[in-house]
Amino acid sequence: MFVVVTRVKLREGTGDQCAELFRRTNPELVNDEQDWLGAKMIFDKESSIVTVLASWKNTESYNALSATPKFQATMREFAQFFASPPDITLNELLVEMSPDSI
């Protein structure tokens, strides 16, 4: 499993708007993606940095989706909230723990 980590500094006061856009657009983007496992959006209000953690079975599926016109158009919608370019990394999940797993 892989986690695509996207971090970006937002313009002041746009965290809620960015979250709403994510809630509205992400389901349609990933609805037909069999290798997409889930996502979390977290926000550090002190630094105005939003982080999206998207879990995928493999990086090829994410790379294919991110190259589509639909994905690119959605990212252009998000850009209105960005105070910096997004930093995107693809990370292999080495350990996952939950109360049920320990």
Domain housing 50: 2-90
**43-49: average pLDDT:** 96
Is 102 inside a domain boundary?
no
∠ Cα 46 54 80 (to 5°): 55
Q: Could you give the 3-state DSSP secondary structure of residue 15?
A: helix
Helices and strands of the chain, counted as H and E runs: 3, 4
Give the count of domains, the chain: 1
Is 97 inside a domain boundary?
no
DSSP state of 96: -
Confidence of residue 30 (pLDDT cuts 50, 70, 90): very high
**87-99: average pLDDT:** 95
pTM over the 0.85 mark = yes
The overall average pLDDT reported for the chain is: 96
| Whole-angstrom distance, CA of residue 29 vs CA of residue 23 | 11
Q: Residue 31 pLDDT more than 90?
A: yes
Domain containing 14 — which CATH number?
Answer: 3.30.70.100
| Chain segment 51-91, per-residue pLDDT in tens | 999 999 999 999 999 999 999 999 999 999 999 999 999 99
Is 99 inside a domain boundary?
no
Is 100 inside a domain boundary?
no
Is 28 inside a domain boundary?
yes
Please name the helix (run of DSSP H) or strand (run of DSSP E) that holds residue 100, with its range, or none: none
> What was the pLDDT predicted at 101?
87
Is 96 inside a domain boundary?
no
With a pLDDT cut of 90, the percent of the chain lying above it is 96
| Whole-angstrom distance, CA of residue 54 vs CA of residue 11 | 22
